[in-house]
């Protein structure tokens, strides 16, 4: 009964108090403007450019690169190494730790570049699945008509064994059940977005700036203080195109690395009014399956994924083998 009361209160807040003065397009434009301004501000604090040594290690060669401290990224390093390496690199390991491809390097370091077939596949697979969820949120945010209230909630940790990547979304529609045509349209929009081959950008910002950027989304507003409290008062944002969302990451560096994909199902989350779970399945580009095998993956992805979300759950990066926790 108490949970039901809390859900009704949240719905009431969303429909009234936090109804954004800005339109959805205006809110997105404002968020991107703040993102760019913060990137420029952080870049201006770098001051005099210092050089660092980046020791790149691969099975066939070791290379020492001279790069710019707090400016150069693993993507920049990959471009210096070769076009082939640049095209397939999905995630970096910097001094043994996972590192986003478009995140600046801060000191002398050892660098490994992982592709989606690398032996360290647990780490890179989790980053791939997380990125798929992030992009799913971008698609959902753009497809609904302006008069329908849509607020992105969150995407739980990547659990590869679950069979689907997911995103939970508040939609002001009661008992909505998408048609087959609507599901096909969602998948088509997803494919259209990844085919733009967009880089996935990353930035860390303060809690206060995050609250300002997401003032149109009451769900994110309620989550941000808890996330900041668990992460030294910092919020990590990712951006693809003009879509910005919150995640601890890491993510793969470019949407071009995602191949065949399908938005397989939408389930209403039990005990959560107007909260829907979108589920999808995807393969890395270059991995080919026949229609029968891929159909099995699609059917599995249609089953309700019961992975739960927590602002603390992203603290662990071994999500691929995390045991699923059930809502009920």
What's the CA gap between 193 and 210, in Å, rounded? 25
The tens-digit pLDDT sequence of the chain (328 residues) is: 434 434 444 444 444 444 457 788 999 999 999 999 999 999 999 989 999 999 998 888 899 999 999 999 999 999 999 999 999 999 999 999 999 999 999 999 999 999 998 877 899 999 999 999 999 999 999 999 989 999 999 998 888 889 999 999 999 999 999 999 999 999 999 999 999 999 999 999 999 999 999 999 999 999 999 999 988 899 999 999 999 999 999 999 999 999 999 999 999 997 788 999 999 999 999 898 999 999 999 999 999 999 886 554 444 444 444 333 333 2
User: Residue for token digits 């699609």?
Assistant: 298
Q: Helix, strand, or coil here: 94?
A: strand
How many structural domains is the chain composed of? 2
The answer on 277 and 215 residing in a single domain is yes
Position 166 in a domain = yes
The answer on 167 and 149 residing in a single domain is yes
The answer on 245 and 224 residing in a single domain is yes
The answer on 290 and 217 residing in a single domain is yes
Q: Report the Cα–Cα distance between both ends of the chain, in Å, rounded.
A: 15
Residue 6: per-residue pLDDT: 44
Position 233 in a domain = yes
The answer on 103 and 126 residing in a single domain is no
The answer on 292 and 152 residing in a single domain is yes
Residue 7: per-residue pLDDT: 46
Q: Say what the pTM is.
A: 0.88
Position 325 in a domain = no
Give the CATH number for residue 78: 3.10.20.30
Residue 322: per-residue pLDDT: 39
What's the CA gap between 217 and 227, in Å, rounded? 15
- Would you state the structure tokens that stand for residue 126, as one six-digit string? 């989790």
What's the CA gap between 309 and 290, in Å, rounded? 33
The answer on 236 and 90 residing in a single domain is no
The answer on 133 and 60 residing in a single domain is no
The answer on 210 and 151 residing in a single domain is yes
Position 246 in a domain = yes
Position 35 in a domain = no
Residue 59: per-residue pLDDT: 83
CA 262 centroid distance within chain = 17
Position 205 in a domain = yes
Give the CATH number for residue 170: 3.30.980.10
Enclosing domain of residue 193: 122-302
């Amino acid at each position: 009964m108490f949970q039901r009361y809390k859900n009704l209160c949240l719905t009431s807040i969303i429909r009234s108090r936090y109804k954004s003065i800005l339109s959805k397009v205006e809110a997105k434009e404002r968020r991107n403007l703040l993102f760019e301004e913060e990137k420029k501000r952080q870049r201006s604090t770098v001051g005099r450019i210092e050089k660092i040594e980046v020791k790149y290690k691969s099975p066939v060669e070791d290379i020492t690169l001279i790069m710019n401290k707090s400016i150069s990224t693993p993507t920049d390093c990959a471009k210096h190494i070769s076009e082939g390496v640049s095209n397939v690199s999905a995630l970096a390991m910097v001094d043994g730790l996972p590192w986003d491809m478009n995140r600046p390097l801060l000191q002398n370091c050892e660098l490994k570049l992982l592709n989606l077939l690398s032996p360290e596949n647990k780490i890179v697979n989790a980053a791939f699945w997380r990125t798929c969820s992030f992009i799913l949120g971008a698609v959902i945010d753009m497809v609904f008509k302006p008069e329908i209230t849509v607020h992105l909630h969150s995407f739980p940790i990547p659990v590869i064994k679950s069979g689907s990547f997911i995103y939970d979304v508040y939609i002001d529609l009661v008992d909505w059940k998408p048609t087959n045509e609507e599901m096909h349209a969602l998948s088509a929009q997803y494919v259209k977005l990844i085919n733009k081959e967009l880089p996935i950008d990353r930035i860390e910002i303060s809690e206060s700036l995050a609250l300002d950027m997401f003032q149109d989304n009451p769900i994110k507003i309620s989550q941000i203080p808890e996330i900041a409290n668990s992460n030294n008062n910092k919020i990590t944002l990712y951006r693809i195109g003009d879509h910005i969302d919150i995640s601890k990451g890491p993510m793969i560096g470019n949407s071009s690395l995602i191949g065949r994909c399908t938005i397989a199902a939408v389930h209403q989350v039990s005990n959560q009014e107007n909260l829907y779970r979108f589920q999808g399945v995807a393969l890395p580009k270059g991995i080919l399956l026949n229609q029968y095998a891929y159909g099995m993956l699609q059917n599995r992805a249609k089953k309700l994924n019961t992975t739960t979300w927590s602002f603390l759950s992203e603290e662990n990066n071994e999500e691929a083998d995390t045991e699923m926790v059930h809502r009920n």
